[in-house]
Amino acid sequence: MDSVAHRLSAVGAGAALELRGVTRLFGALAALTDVTITVRPGERRAVLGSNGAGKTTLFNCITGDFPPTSGTIRFFGEDITRFPPYERIRRGLRRTYQISALFPGLTVQDNVYLACRGVSRGRFSFLRPGQNDALMHAADNLVQAVHLSAVKDQRVAELAHGQQRQLEIALALAGAPRFVLFDEPAAGLSPAERLELIEILTSLPSHIGYIIIEHDMDVALRVVESVTMMHNGRIFKEGVPQEIQSDPEVQELYLGGGHE
Amino acid sequence: MSVTHDARVQLRAATTAQGQAARIWPEINHPAAWIVAVILVIMPLIANGFFLIEIFATTMILGTIALSLMFLAGYGGMVSLMQLTIAGFCAYMVAVFGVSANTNISLGWPWWLAVPMALALATLFGTLGGTLAVRTEGIYTIMITLAIGAAFYYFTNQNWAIFGGHTGINTVATPHFWGVNWRSDIPFYYIVLGTAALCYFAVAYISRAPFGLALQGVRDNPRRMAALGFNVNAHRIAAYAVASFIAGLAGVLQVWNYRQISPGSVSVGACIDILIIAVVGGITRPIGPYIGALIFVLLRTFALDFLVKIGLDGNRFRLIIGLGFLAIVFWSSDGVIGLWQRWRQGKRPTTTRPGGGHGHG
């Protein structure tokens, strides 16, 4: 998985994530057009934009859920444009989904255990994990980190919405993430749960960078240091939060429509 | 009832506290399971040869084939209609490599060489079929596997060089060693019971092992599994390999049971019978297929007499099976075990959930 060449190329390149001219077509519709973004390791960035701006498509291209039609994507220097999703994940990329994508038939613990197993060896193991299984402990710790210990033996189908959102985050933090894509993690959360989410995001180790799609400016601007504004599948503006917030064009486009 | 219930809850709490110790082995913690196990072991003392072989051994053979479907459908979300075909293929291979009356076809290998060879080929056959099937989802998986089953049926009908055409391969030799004829009723019953138990516990065990858990993850949300680092198609194909091996084991027992194999045993109708058995029994737990097989075999054996007795055509036994199938699918999406579970649920306080859900052994 971590070949020498891969490590060397990672040392050589400065960027955690580098997109060059990424375009994604759905038939005649261009969901993304010529998107070029560079994100440093450890950088935390928000992607803002109205519905249909191409934010989630951007995530899908980066994780390989839908590969880009053209352009290249580099992850810590390595060209991952044509990699299947699981190869990208094994290299330290993670994502969450806007609509929780969990395993409703399994327990919370099993969900997190699967996430830990997915990025380590023994995915095909026929042996049950024993009492001192390292991944089982890792799963326990993660469950605790997202405050779900009390419900860890419950099936996910029975969890409340907020708990499912927390589990969604836990799945993305399994193993050794180097960069995480959060797709509207605060969607449908109560104000108290939003504070908890902010706490989880800000307490992530500083080497873990992320991109967050978030409509709630209060959440987004408290957890990022840079902002990319998208419009109609293109990059519209990039800058620090204060700049973007006070930019008249941005306000007209995004904040203007009676939002906040 | 409530006493055992409370005890179980405490046990569960205790094991959780000491860190998942109970997960390592399949748990037989229900007294009914022990009673069934004991009855099955002492069955030769109670039952005559007819019941032993025609009812119980046949049930366990069909149940094991249906178990391989349950493994794919219940844990993997893949409905494969070719499980009987794989069992039939394995049965043919035992006859082809082993000893039979068709000396122009059979190679005459001893059973201990012919059986591993047949199992290996059947596993390969099922894995290749699975490799085709995993490229599709839902109804298309059903269509592809059904097409494989139908193609194999017509192929066996027409191929005389290897499969013996529509008459098949007859008088297939069964194992004799240590001075025992292993096809005589009682030893054969124990061979079938041992194999069925092995497959049952293997499936129950794997369901809680990383491979089985990941398979259930693939069933629930394949896209997310890929986003967790799993190669979803590789996992599905591996599941087909496991299921094919299980179906192959049942196929070996089937050819030893009837001592012959012919296209009639691998017909499309027989493929669908396996689906009916699995669905009637319930595909969320490994015990379901065996319950379904018992119901199927009892109906097939006795419905005929019953129908004749009340003045109807005995060949209508399939009508009863069909009506039963409709009724069960209508009232319980989870087969007989679903009905049973709900009935127990109704008798208990509502604090517990249905036994931990999928894959509880």
A6 falls in which pLDDT band (50, 70, 90)?
low
Residues of A in contact with B231 (CB under 8 A): 84, 86, 123
Q: How confident is the model at residue B347 (pLDDT cuts 50, 70, 90)?
A: low
Q: How far is the C-alpha of A80 from the C-alpha of A9, rounded, in Å?
A: 12
CA A17/CA A15 separation, integer angstroms: 5
What gap in Å lies between CA A53 and CA A29, rounded to an integer?
Answer: 12
pLDDT confidence of A52, banded at 50, 70, 90? Answer: confident
B206 at A interface, C-beta within 8 A: yes
Span B262-284, average pLDDT: 90
Residue B10 has pLDDT above 50, yes or no: no
Residue A47 has pLDDT above 80, yes or no: yes
H or E element at residue B174: none
**Contact at CB, B21 and A131, closer than 8 angstroms:** yes
Query: How do residues A201-245 score in pLDDT, each as one tens digit?
Result: 988 998 999 999 987 777 888 899 999 988 888 988 888 888 887
Chain B residues with CB-CB distance to A101 below 8 A: 221, 223-224, 227
Taking 70 as the threshold, does the pLDDT of residue A116 lie above it?
A: yes
Asked if residues B118 and B93 have their Cβ atoms less than 8 Å apart, the reply is yes
DSSP string, A208-228: -EEEEE-S-HHHHHHH-SEEE
Residues B171-216 have pLDDT tens digits of 887 888 887 788 888 889 999 999 999 999 999 999 989 999 999 9
pTM metric for this prediction: 0.83
Question: Which pLDDT score, from 0 to 100, does residue B75 have?
Answer: 94
CB-CB under 8 Å, B209 with A174: no
Question: Which residue in B has a C-alpha nearest to residue A115's C-alpha?
Answer: B228
Out of A65, A85, A105, the one facing B357 most closely (by C-beta) is A105
Q: What is the ipTM of this complex?
A: 0.84
Query: What average pLDDT does range A82-96 have in this prediction?
Result: 92
Decide: A76 and A13 in contact? Cβ < 8 Å: yes
Average pLDDT score over residue span A73-85: 91
CA distances from B131 to A260, B65, B87, B143, B307 (A): 53, 19, 18, 14, 44
Average pLDDT, chain B: 83
User: What average pLDDT does the segment B113-130 reach?
Assistant: 95
**β-bridge partners, A29:** A26
How many degrees, rounded to 5, is the angle at CA A112 between CA A2 and CA B226? 55
Task: Kindly state the percentage of chain A with pLDDT values over 70.
Answer: 92
| Cα–Cα distance for residue pair B246/B198, rounded to 1 Å | 10
Q: What pLDDT, on the 0 to 100 scale, is given for residue A58?
A: 92
Q: Which pLDDT tens digit goes with each residue over B50-109? A: 888 889 999 999 999 999 999 999 999 999 999 999 999 999 999 999 888 887 888 888
- Lowest-confidence segment of A170-174, B51-55, B302-306 by average pLDDT: B302-306
Residue B27: pLDDT band with limits 50, 70, 90: low
Collapse the DSSP code of A183 into the 3-class scheme (helix H, G, I; strand E, B; otherwise coil) and give the result. Answer: strand
Look at residue B96 in the predicted model and tell me its pLDDT: 93
pLDDT of amino acid A61: 93
**Taking an 8 Å Cβ-Cβ cutoff, which residues of chain A contact chain B?**
63-65, 84-86, 89-90, 94-95, 97, 101-107, 110-111, 113-115, 117-119, 122-133, 136, 153, 155, 158, 171, 174-175
| pLDDT given at position B26 | 52
B290 Cβ contact list (under 8 Å, min separation 6): B59, B60, B63, B66, B67, B196, B200, B281
Mapped onto helix, strand or coil, the DSSP state of residue B191 is: helix
Instruction: Give the Cα separation of A243 and A219 in Å (integer).
Output: 17
